[in-house]
Amino acid sequence: MTVYGSFPGARPRRLRTTPAMRRMVAETRLHPADLILPAFVREGISEPVAISAMPGVYQHTLDTLRKAAAEAVDAGVSGIMLFGVPADENKDAAGTAGTDPDGILQVALRAVREEVGDDLVVMSDLCLDEFTDHGHCGVLDAQGRVDNDATLERYAEMAQVQADAGAHVVGPSGMMDGQVGLIRDALDGIGREDVSILAYTAKYSSAFYGPFREAVGSSLQGDRKTYQQDPANSRESLRELALDLAEGADMVMVKPAGPYLDILAKVAEGVDVPVAAYQISGEYAMVEAAAEKGWIERDRAITETLTGIKRAGAQMILTYWAVEAARMLR
């Protein structure tokens, strides 16, 4: 009994009294192995190029990419997702640099596998947007629209070339209908049943991709609203999930992470395969910008956002803070 009367139940604050107590009863625990590092490698540069909207993130040379991969292994990070940035003169309407065995992404895959072997899960972005002169994720028809089925043929070739270059996992991110099944068939057709598919199951048309466009030197004309998901829709993501699983996805992903934690939770509740979420460039940039102005505590904000993503159901988190966060956690 207190001056305020009796409490009908326990006092939850008893379990928050000390750091050791809070640690002991924590329901969600981040671990370095939860994290995957997205990394950009740019053709034709001799020094890494800073990405202005993403402080601390760079377009790598092959040498600095090797170093970044080795650092990720040392930090205990599980994977690295590679994005290739070709020279402008190597972009064309069909994105042929994306299927050239000597294109920048394939060269980078071979370099990273040579550096880290199987100590890091080496993933490759399977999409045409970095390689097309129009910046879309597929090839265009005569009316300038993304041709879904013609794009699938290009994705099949990309998957085979990336597998040959050493990718453990391919990540088709273009949101074309039928992409997972066709890529699975293409990989199996060359005897690469061992290569996994991380399906970008729910990839929303988001305002938070802005800094990424700088990171990959995007040539985008128009927008991607006809193939990426509408932010207003939730049930649609579950339809996409069912299709990806039926087509043979080994893992599924929600992108972006932070603005779509409700979608992430629904996806995680409905599957028995690993679930990933991508904390994208705009999420990263907002925290960095606010921290630079002294408006938030940077390290706490990083771990809080990552904890929220894991609490919502992600087993794997793609984040540009992967190595730094892993070191903080250790």
What secondary structure does DSSP assign to 253-313, as a single string? EEESSGGGHHHHHHHHHT-SS-EEEE--HHHHHHHHHHHHTTSS-HHHHHHHHHHHHHHTT
* Domain range for 276: 29-329
204 lies in a domain? yes
State the catalytic residues.
203, 255
Torsion of CA 190, 191, 192, 193, to 10 degrees: 130
Looking at every residue in the chain, the average pLDDT score rounds to 93
196 lies in a domain? yes
Question: For position 169, which CATH number holds?
Answer: 3.20.20.70
111 lies in a domain? yes
pLDDT at res. 144: 85
96 lies in a domain? yes
List the single range of 38-42, 128-132, 250-254 with lowest mean pLDDT: 128-132
16 lies in a domain? no
11 lies in a domain? no
15 lies in a domain? no
Q: Which residues pair with 202 in a beta bridge?
A: 254
Q: Residues 7-29: pLDDT tens digits? A: 667 788 889 999 999 999 999 99
Q: Residues 86-107: pLDDT tens digits? A: 998 998 999 999 999 999 999 9
200 lies in a domain? yes
pLDDT at res. 212: 72
Q: Residues 53-98: pLDDT tens digits? A: 999 999 999 999 999 999 999 999 999 999 999 998 998 999 999 9
pLDDT at res. 97: 93
pLDDT at res. 219: 67
